[in-house]
Structure 1
Amino acid sequence: MPACSTSLKRQLDGLDIGCHQKTCRRCRKYRRKAISFQPFLSLEISSYSVARNEEASNLSPKAALHTKQVVSMKNEQLPGSRRSSFQIASCRSTGAMRVLWWLAPLFLGSLAGAMCPPRCECDDAALVVSCEDAQLEVLPIQLNPEVETVRLRGNRIASLEFSMAFYTRLRSLDVSANVLQNLGPGLFQDQRRLMELNVSNNAITMISPEAFSGLTDLRALDLSSNQITSASEGGVWKGLESLWELDLSHNRLDALSAEVRRKSSRWDDDSDCAPLRNLRTLILDGNIFSFPPSNCLAHLDSLRQLGLADNRLTFIGEEAFPATMGELQTLNLQGNQIASLTPNCFSNLTKLQVLDLSDNNITFVPTTSLARLGALQDLDLSGNPISRIAPLAFQALFELRRLRVSRLSELEHIDPRALVENVRLEEVRLELCPRLKRLPPRLFHSNPLLTRVALRGNALQTISAGDLPLRQLRFLALADNPLRCNCSLLWLWKLARSSAQKLASRNPPSYGNHTPTWAETAGGATCWEPVPLRGTPVYKAPEETVGCEASWATVLMVTGVVLSLFTLTCAILFYCGGGGRWCRAETTDTPSSRINGIKEHYPQPPSSNMYHQHHLLHHHHMGLGPPHMWTDPDQVVPPEYEYATTDGGLISVKKPSTSNSLGVYV
């Protein structure tokens, strides 16, 4: 057998080859270069040789298609080792060709198995290839050219060039957790059917303009957890008119597009974000945005979900969310440094249903700003330094279903009217507030649909049965509160015991599959006081601890205190009713002070000297006495009713029934 045919046979057997100078002149120039052949390269050589003599082999349609695909490869698109393999195969020895004709059917007969690289799983029926954690350094080119799903997560692939052109029918490509550094222009030019592309968790620092220009059917693009510093270069998003989901979280972005000019009342249509007009989900969490990217958001009139968590936002102004964002339903602003919000900052978000403002620097509930969100259903204000929840704090939020106000380290007071207008409220989470020692009475009695209440990790010492809507609750959490196990928790103890008795009366099969409800465990509440019961669940506390029966000594002591208070009260009332000095104000002896004192409490009679004289006489000699009367100074008074005064004046003191001409002063 000629030397070239022997070398090719060794290649087909997967052995290391090296041409010999004495036996083959055509192969002499490869004498110093040993080529390490993998099984898939040997298959390519055989396919190349057989493709030139298709009449001499009996190939299936799929095998013929694959061989034509291999033959169509250009030499400049292949690495050096592969280019050398095809040059070796150019030895046109008749014996070598005959050997290939005999061996090709053996390899092509099991084409599916030979095309699947080691550590990969290939399903030709479903057109799925999975090579996760297979230690690959390049995207294999020997896969089925009709494959639709390729998973290459967790390899060491540094570039996708020279490989993507072989797979034009891809629907989903996952190259996450590799070592890709950039995405060059036109990289996906031939993947017009691709709908999902995941290049997350790589080392990408730059996206070249028109890198996605061929992805006309792409719906989801994941670029998260890279090192992208800029995506505002012209044409970066070109070709993504069909994109629905874009994930750029955990990069180093501070802008999505260059600054643009306005045309009258509309934004410039030539903006870099204009191709993203059909975008529905945009995730920008974990970047370095100081302000919301309003210039780009103005073009996203189909946006439903926006994530700006864990950025550097400090202020939300009126222009943060343009009027074109009227379809937005979910907004995540968690983990920023927001300290203030303007009253109209959310006025354009008329359909917003979920708002997350947790872990910011908000010191009070932004009632005015939230009142613009008439469709809001889920609100999270956890992790803010809010010290007080005022009355009607969540005013006009009639559609609110879920409220989270946990981890409020400064919260000390909640007004009982805080939730009055939230008639559709179903769940409240008020947890981990270390300064909240008391739950307002009847806080939840204006919420007829409330079924879930979480009060874990607060400083509550007691809870009254009237504080909670027990008849409608389906879930209650009371764990990690310093509760005092006394008669104030008797209702909770009885509730747990009653629920346990009902459970014990059920059939054994249902008991075995039953999950304890909050009532059976008293909501997870444990005793903090008395000290001997610290850490004991409330429903396991002894009955005498939570019982309200008092001893005879206690009854006598309480009775004595009550009687003492009653006696003291009666004495005070009796003394005041008898005209004691404690019950009337101190006055001076001057006539003017006495007259002024009487004027304050009684209607004033006509001004006369006789009245003043009678006033002095009355206070000095007559006490409060009977009703006082006065007459006109010119009126004749019968002698029996005349009284002389020290200055010679006359005073008339007649009973009211004696004469109708006399005035009466009481």
Structure 2
Amino acid sequence: MFERSAVHQRLCWGALYLLAAGVALTSETRWLCPPSCHCNATALEVNCSGGQLTRVPDGLSQEARLLNLTQNTLKTLVRQQFHTLTQLSDLDLSDNLLVIIEVEAFLGLQSLRTLRLCRNHLKIIPVGAFAGLTNLQLLDVSSNQLLVFLDFTFSELNALRFMKAADNDLVYVSHQAFTGLTSLQELHLDGCNLTAMPAEALTQLSVLRSLSFHRLGLTTLPNYSFRHLVHLKELVISHCPWLESLSGNSLFGLNLTSLTIKHGNLSAFPYIPLHHLVYLVYLDLSFNPITYIHANLLGDLLRLQELHLVGGSLLRIEIGAFKGLAHFRLLNASRNHLTTLEVGAFYSVDTLRTLGLDNNPLACDCRLLWVVQRRLYMDFGESPPTCITSVQLQGWNFLDFPEAELPDLLTCRPPRILNRKAQVMKVDQGHTVVFHCSAEGDPLPSVRWLNPQLRSLSPIGRVRALSNGSLEVRYAQPQDSGKYLCVASNAAGNDSLPVSLHVQTFPSSSKKPFRLKGWSAFPSAAPGVNGNQKLHFDVKTLLIAATIGFLSFFSSVSVCFIFMFFWSKGKGQIKHTATIAYVPRSAMSSSNGGTSSYMETGRFTMKLL
């Protein structure tokens, strides 16, 4: 019994072994792995990366879902190169030497979802190369040498959602290049040498939500560049060293929530192109030589939360610069030339959570007291601000200020006008007048001038405020007379100094004028002249006017006579005949005792022939 049981046990184990061997043999038969490849039957993956392959290997399993052919030396993909791999969903051909992709090279890959062709040597993609990829969702052709996108290159990729064409040498995108990309949501055209915005091609991308450009060769962003991209939410334009301005309607039609224009050459903040972006939340204008953020010009960006201005040329952020931005919570102005940032620049500092001011030549005085007081509630990024230009506090970190000594450390000195001697100027009409005004204080006060109507004077015009604090009145006129006010201001207060100007009119003529009495004003007389006003005439003026009038009349008559003389000469010999007839006086009286009578006087009749 025991022997029979042992034999039976051996037979069972042998059967199990044979069954396992058969299953293994079947799996090996179905998953024949090409040389230089590693196959994973469980993950349905074939990995041929780094196998020094010069062509796509034969014998790949038809059930493979992932095929990795990276880091080989493939140069050409022939027509229907992968037609047997009908279940393939991910194909990676990155880091090869691909130069040619033939038409219908991927035909048969109807299940393919991702196709990566980055870091190859492609210069052009022929029309029809992506035929059959009806379910492709991601295409990566970055880091090639592509020069142009032809019409209908991607026409069969109706399901494509993400396309990357980074680090290429594109010089032209044909108008119909993106036809068929009806599902595309994200497009990267980084690394282009485009000298014109492909606006016509972009009109095909009706559902695009994210667009990125890199190294554009533009000097200005033209009007209506993105006019049909109504669903676009994110726009990135970077590393465009010649981009100096944005046209007023360059962003027309967009409802962006995120806008990045960095590493360009914008010297002024693009207020006008941005003003309609009321849904904008994130704005990055870093690494542009922008110098000023002016007051009261950003209020239209109602939902703006983050503004990045890193690595620019900012000299000043004016008071009221962020007026109206109730949701503003992050400002990064690191690596600029700011000496201060006053609390009045913000709508409310209570919403501010992150402030980047490092690597600025900050002067620690009363203008930055609010920053130090809120240092426990704000994030200063990688490094907190440091005092640079203040002599006493040079090198101090904002986090090192003791709370009890803040009022004594961060102080300002009110302005004081230095020369308060009264300035009264009396000049004749047409002369130029200059009033001087200089002030001292800490920080150095700004000087402005107010006219007699208490309006600020600009640096341009006949009456102007000069950059050195002086007031210049050129070619003074009587209406310039009055009191002007010099006002010196800084964060600690104001000081003022009035000056007076009296402009005398030209002296009147010493000769007694000739007056015509009883002449009423002409209807076209200037305002202020009424009907009882007497007009004054100078005798010399009258004589000159009469002489000019006589000469003009005599010249006209002379010209007429000369013309008639030459005209008559041109008619040839003319005989003149005159006939004169005299009719004597006649009288007629009534007869038969009539009472009526008639008498006619004599007359001459002359005919000239």
TM-score range (shorter-chain normalised) is: 0.5 to 0.7
| Corresponding residue of 1:367 | 248
What is the letter of the counterpart of residue 26 of structure 2? Answer: L
Q: Does the 8 A contact of 1:390 with 1:415 survive in 2? A: no
1:382 to 262, 267, 270: 262
Q: Does the 8 A contact of 1:458 with 1:480 survive in 2? A: yes
Offset at residue 368 of structure 1 (A): 0.5
Offset at residue 283 of structure 1 (A): 1.2
Q: Does the 8 A contact of 1:281 with 1:305 survive in 2? A: yes
What is the letter of the counterpart of residue 82 of structure 2? Answer: F
State the secondary structure of the residue aligned to 1:315: coil
1:350 to 230, 245, 250: 230
**Cα separation, 1, equivalents of 2:77 and 2:137:** 20
State the secondary structure of the residue aligned to 1:215: coil
What is the letter of the counterpart of residue 585 of structure 1? Answer: Q
Q: 1:595 to 1:178 in 2, by over 3 A?
A: farther
Aligned length: 439
Offset at residue 588 of structure 1 (A): 3.1
Q: Does the 8 A contact of 1:291 with 1:320 survive in 2? A: no
Q: Does the 8 A contact of 1:274 with 1:299 survive in 2? A: yes
**Cα separation, 1, equivalents of 2:512 and 2:361:** 61
| Corresponding residue of 2:197 | 316
Q: Do structure 1's residue 585 and structure 2's residue 504 form an aligned pair?
A: yes
Q: 1:68 to 1:481 in 2, by over 3 A?
A: closer
Offset at residue 583 of structure 1 (A): 4.4
1:548 to 400, 411, 414: 411
Q: Do structure 1's residue 451 and structure 2's residue 335 form an aligned pair?
A: no
| Corresponding residue of 2:422 | 568
| Corresponding residue of 1:482 | 361
| Corresponding residue of 1:280 | 161
1:249-306 alpha-carbon deviations (Å, 9 max, x no partner)? 111112344x5xxxxxxxxxxx553321221112111112112243220221221111
| Corresponding residue of 1:200 | 94
Offset at residue 335 of structure 1 (A): 1.8
Offset at residue 412 of structure 1 (A): 2.3
**Cα separation, 1, equivalents of 2:501 and 2:55:** 100
**Cα separation, 2, equivalents of 1:318 and 1:57:** 68
| Corresponding residue of 1:173 | 67
**Cα separation, 1, equivalents of 2:20 and 2:508:** 136
Q: Do structure 1's residue 190 and structure 2's residue 88 form an aligned pair?
A: no
Question: Which 5+ residue runs of structure 1 have no aligned equivalent?
Answer: 1-53, 74-114, 116-135, 260-270, 500-515, 610-666
Taking structure 1 as the reference length, what is the TM-score of the superposition?
0.58
State the secondary structure of the residue aligned to 2:422: helix
**Cα separation, 2, equivalents of 1:205 and 1:494:** 62
State the secondary structure of the residue aligned to 2:369: helix
| Corresponding residue of 2:295 | 416
Q: Do structure 1's residue 289 and structure 2's residue 170 form an aligned pair?
A: yes
**Cα separation, 2, equivalents of 1:589 and 1:321:** 73
What is the letter of the counterpart of residue 188 of structure 1? Answer: F
Offset at residue 471 of structure 1 (A): 1.2
Q: Does the 8 A contact of 1:487 with 1:545 survive in 2? A: no
**Cα separation, 1, equivalents of 2:144 and 2:406:** 59
Q: Does the 8 A contact of 2:148 with 2:171 survive in 1? A: no
1:65 to 16, 23, 26: 26
Offset at residue 365 of structure 1 (A): 2.7
State the secondary structure of the residue aligned to 1:275: coil
State the secondary structure of the residue aligned to 1:368: coil
What is the letter of the counterpart of residue 91 of structure 2? Answer: L
| Corresponding residue of 1:518 | 379
Offset at residue 391 of structure 1 (A): 4.4
Richer in strand (by share):
2
2:44 to 148, 151, 155: 148
Q: Does the 8 A contact of 1:403 with 1:427 survive in 2? A: yes
State the secondary structure of the residue aligned to 2:274: coil
| Corresponding residue of 1:464 | 342
1:522-547 alpha-carbon deviations (Å, 9 max, x no partner)? 98211111356443313425747743
| Corresponding residue of 1:333 | 213
Q: 1:154 to 1:594 in 2, by over 3 A?
A: farther
| Corresponding residue of 2:134 | 241
Q: Do structure 1's residue 214 and structure 2's residue 108 form an aligned pair?
A: yes
Offset at residue 407 of structure 1 (A): 0.5
**Cα separation, 1, equivalents of 2:514 and 2:116:** 93
What is the letter of the counterpart of residue 548 of structure 1? Answer: T
Q: Does the 8 A contact of 1:452 with 1:474 survive in 2? A: yes
| Corresponding residue of 1:425 | 304
Q: Does the 8 A contact of 2:155 with 2:178 survive in 1? A: no
Question: Which 5+ residue runs of structure 2 have no aligned equivalent?
Answer: 1-14, 427-451, 453-481, 484-499, 516-524, 536-609
| Corresponding residue of 1:406 | 286
Q: Does the 8 A contact of 1:414 with 1:439 survive in 2? A: yes
Describe how 1:616-635 pairs up with structure 2 within 5 A. none
Offset at residue 425 of structure 1 (A): 0.9
| Corresponding residue of 1:617 | none
1:160-192 alpha-carbon deviations (Å, 9 max, x no partner)? 32231xx22222222323333333333322221
Offset at residue 138 of structure 1 (A): 2.0
Q: 1:371 to 1:466 in 2, by over 3 A?
A: same
| Corresponding residue of 1:11 | none
**Cα separation, 1, equivalents of 2:40 and 2:533:** 122
What is the letter of the counterpart of residue 419 of structure 1? Answer: L
**Cα separation, 2, equivalents of 1:199 and 1:297:** 23
Offset at residue 220 of structure 1 (A): 0.7
1:96-140 alpha-carbon deviations (Å, 9 max, x no partner)? xxxxxxxxxxxxxxxxxxx9xxxxxxxxxxxxxxxxxxxx96225
**Cα separation, 1, equivalents of 2:425 and 2:219:** 60
1:499-533 alpha-carbon deviations (Å, 9 max, x no partner)? 3xxxxxxxxxxxxxxxx8427x9982111113564
Q: Does the 8 A contact of 2:365 with 2:412 survive in 1? A: no
Aligned-residue sequence identity (percent) comes to 22
Q: 1:583 to 1:282 in 2, by over 3 A?
A: closer
Q: 1:378 to 1:549 in 2, by over 3 A?
A: closer
**Cα separation, 2, equivalents of 1:209 and 1:197:** 17
Offset at residue 244 of structure 1 (A): 0.9
Offset at residue 479 of structure 1 (A): 0.7
State the secondary structure of the residue aligned to 2:238: coil
Q: Do structure 1's residue 303 and structure 2's residue 180 form an aligned pair?
A: no
**Cα separation, 1, equivalents of 2:131 and 2:98:** 19
Offset at residue 210 of structure 1 (A): 2.6
**Cα separation, 2, equivalents of 1:210 and 1:317:** 27
Describe how 1:120-159 pairs up with structure 2 within 5 A. 138-140=36-38, 143=39, 147-159=43-55
Q: Does the 8 A contact of 1:146 with 1:168 survive in 2? A: no
Q: 1:195 to 1:601 in 2, by over 3 A?
A: closer
Offset at residue 481 of structure 1 (A): 0.5
Q: Does the 8 A contact of 2:143 with 2:165 survive in 1? A: yes
**Cα separation, 2, equivalents of 1:528 and 1:304:** 47
**Cα separation, 2, equivalents of 1:352 and 1:188:** 36
Q: Does the 8 A contact of 1:489 with 1:546 survive in 2? A: no
**Cα separation, 2, equivalents of 1:228 and 1:207:** 8
Q: Does the 8 A contact of 1:330 with 1:354 survive in 2? A: yes
Q: 1:274 to 1:600 in 2, by over 3 A?
A: closer
Richer in helix (by share):
1
**Cα separation, 1, equivalents of 2:408 and 2:390:** 9
Offset at residue 217 of structure 1 (A): 0.6
Q: 1:594 to 1:584 in 2, by over 3 A?
A: farther
**Cα separation, 2, equivalents of 1:286 and 1:241:** 26
Q: 1:253 to 1:210 in 2, by over 3 A?
A: same
Offset at residue 390 of structure 1 (A): 5.2
Offset at residue 227 of structure 1 (A): 1.1
Deviates more, 1:449-458 or 1:182-191: 182-191
| Corresponding residue of 2:433 | none
What is the letter of the counterpart of residue 485 of structure 1? Answer: C
